[in-house]
Amino acid sequence: MHNATSLENYEEQPFTATHRVRIDCAYDGSLFSGWAAQPNLVTVQGVIENALELILRAPHRVVVAGRTDAGVHAEAQTLHCDLSDEDWTRLQGRTGEDDPTAALGRRLTGALQRCLYDAEEQLNLPKNVRGILQGAIQIHRVSEVPFDFDARFSATGRRYVYRIADGAADGLNPLHRTYTWAVPEHLDCADLNESAQQLLGLRDFLSFCKPREGATTIRELRELSFTRTVTRTENGLIEVRVVADAFCHHMVRSLVGALVLYGTGKRDAAWLRERIENPGREASLTLAPPHALALAEIYYPASELYGVQAERARAKREDHEAQSA
């Protein structure tokens, strides 16, 4: 398993990337401290990179489409990493006939079992729940992609889903509790959808995110919709679809939290409109709980446009950041 020292050594060692692989995966984020690797914490990135090191016998960094916060899940996540000729040969097996991407997918699944057991040890979980992390990270597909593919910058958009069990004053269905936000009041989806229309388009979402230093808070919100998916006899289950070109830190949870405050009558329409029309750092964030949020889809263009989109996204980010400086 890698640590900070081994990663530093990896950066100093010569490494010639000859193959880029795309890894599509999913994970239950309940027990992880988010996606991004952090010292002394169990994260999704950390576990996946540990598994890659186990297979390839050296640390390999991965680039992800969208970083998720602690407790947030991914039904569809995409990342990429670069491999050397030596890595590729190792994956081809002794006969040299194995498909390297298929072999990497199989071996990643096996290595993740061991690394997730190690993660349970690090979390110091009681013995009676050991094994709870098995299957928490699933590899869906591994494929070779051109070098102009970038999991983050080649993406044209991301879709999140947030699930709410409203009208739960009499108690939440126990089978919904892990992945839904229980709201005692009944929510009117039509009213919420009408209010959500004000937020669509290219705008500054400073009132609805925790800005990172030097980063822009301008995003294009393409969809924000509330749909009831089950009957009222089950207390109601609402799916919130949120689609944007990219998201600021805490943006989805803040948008959902603000609209639920409005929908339950705790805030009025004027309050919501003020936050939208006058974005500001002083606006307090009302975050919906993380456990009901999942990254559901990453959108990419046709393969011949990977590089074009990546250049456009990098230029756009640099332009926004220059304006914010």
Long-range contacts of 111-116 (CB under 8 A, 24+ apart): 111/50, 111/51, 111/52, 111/54, 111/55, 112/47, 112/48, 112/51, 112/137, 112/139, 114/51, 114/54, 115/1, 115/47, 115/50, 115/51, 115/54, 116/47
**Which H helix or E strand runs over 242?**
strand 238-244
DSSP 8-class letter at 21: E
Q: Are 281 and 209 spatial neighbours (Cβ–Cβ below 8 Å)?
A: no
Please, what sign has the CA dihedral across residues 248, 253, 259, 262? negative
Cα gap 248→257, rounded to integer Å: 15
How many residues are listed for the chain in this entry? 325
Amino acid (one-letter) located at 26: A
Cα gap 233→125, rounded to integer Å: 37
Please, what sign has the CA dihedral across residues 112, 114, 119, 124? positive
Query: Both tokens of residue 102?
Result: 């298929």
Cα gap 210→254, rounded to integer Å: 9
Cα gap 154→147, rounded to integer Å: 11
Residue 69 is a catalytic residue:
yes
Which is the catalytic residue, given 28, 69, 87, 150?
69
Catalytically active residues, by annotation: 69
